[in-house]
Structure 1
Amino acid sequence: MKITKVINNSFVCAYDSNNKEVVVMGKGIGFKAKEGDIVSKKRIEKIFIMDDKSSVDKFKQLLEKLPLEHFRLSYEIISYARRTLGQKLNENIYITLTDHINFAVKRFKKGMMFPNPLLWEVKQFYKSEYLIGEYALRLIKEKLEIEMNEDEAASIALHIVNAEYNTNMNDALKITTLISDIVKIINDFYRIKLDEESLHYSRLITHLKFLSQRLFLNETIKDTDDILVDMITSRYEKEFECSLRIKEYIEKKYEHEVSREELAYLAVHIKRVSMYAEDL
């Protein structure tokens, strides 16, 4: 790879074998380097491949203007998240999370810390991601001697969620609110309190995450067995009725249609979770 731009001592831009512009990180990789030099493979620590040129440009601008320690923090948090979750995260998180942490540190120093209105929902529906947020706060305290509150852990968790599901922050907030509202509809419909520690509840929340994601990405379930759907709707009449309530809510508030197949699978989860709920 040939260097096209030296950002600083630790970052350079180059074109990979597919002629795609990438950002390369490595200790001293940009020191005394210049455009046209070959990137030393021995110095490469990480190659960042962004979605498009606009993302690459944003990433370069961040690396040029913010303190390197803020990026290092972000990098360590993301590496920990990958190991903990065991799955791929969208590379754009290096832009969004780094920018967020940099801004959060500035706000903290000015005494401008704001409550996160979705704190409870994030702790409830994204437990693994929230624990990563708590890890991030411990790291920030260790590296920067800044002690942030749990609202910030929730905000960091939502950035992790974005990278998991390939959504933007606006959709992540909508998805979190949608899940909370659907749980409330189920509780109200049956006049129960769902057991939030049960395996069935955990499976319901996982299903709702993917249902919400499909809705906001305008995707639908494919290759569905119509006979199976018919059997579910006839066998679980009450649960399907509850699903219809949820459908009405989604279509009214978000103007997204919910297919019969989606309702049928949702009814199955509602059946399971309602069986072990606590009456109000």
Structure 2
Amino acid sequence: MKERITGQRFLAVTLLNVLITVVEIIGGLISGSLALLSDAFHNMGDSFSIILGYFAQQIGGRPETRKSTYGYRRSEILSALTNSLLLVIIAIFLIGKAIQRLSHPQHINGTIMMVVAIVGLVANFLSAALLHSGSHDNLNVKATYLHVLSDALSSVAVIIGGIILIFVNVPWLDPLLTIAVAIYIAYESLPIINQTIRILMQSSPDLDYEAIAKDLTSIDGVDAVHHVHAWMIDEHHIIFSAHLNCEDKPLSQIEQIYSQVEKLLREKYGICHITLQAECSRGKGEELFNTVADEREMINDHHINK
């Protein structure tokens, strides 16, 4: 079952990120470290993302209504997409600034850079611990959790850079660390962007449709399956509809077949919402998926025959 993160946890993580942002801005200005300043802006974006994630979770938990019969779960998918896109935008911005800094390197105070980064690392680990439990099965929380983890990683990189700069004057190291962290942030964000877009575009979930058809036709009274549609409301709720060719039976017996089909789809394939249409011979022999092109061809054939 999907665990929901409480408002107190979201508030705690937000306050920690605001604290990190203030400390890193001050530390970055004093030390001259672009890596610290970029991490500060990253944390500022995190604060926005955490707030957005919290409100999306609250909206997503609302029940279905007459105006929204599938509920509001897509709000969390939109939040996850927004947060992940924000991470990519931040990463591109940081890479641009780092390239500029490589052209005009400047002296960095490694000690201040290291101490401030340690404070940021501790705060980010606390935030990650607060969000960890809900990050496994919720794209919205996972995107927020990824924000925090990427900050922790960048803090580790800044700490290592600070230690090196204490002993060796390597002006190009600070922007190089910034570029490396930015690339990692973008790389980790792309899978979430891909998954959220697939859900919003109502792409088919990863199901074995041939196995489903085989299982359904093994039920007594079901001769064939066609006109299958499947999509997802969020990463956990699959919607499924299909036409079943059944023997010519009373409706009371067809309902018994429906019950068997629904039980199979729920228990074996994890489908939560199922719509079925029983037919005798209509559509029999059609493909499992009746695409728009197939439908247009059927309509044209019908007009020609007429």
- Structure 2 length-normalised TM: 0.27
**Structure holding more helix per residue:** 2
Which has the higher relative contact order, 1 or 2, with Cα contacts under 8 A spaced 6 or more apart?
A: 2
Radius of gyration: which is bigger?
2
TM-score by length of 1: 0.29
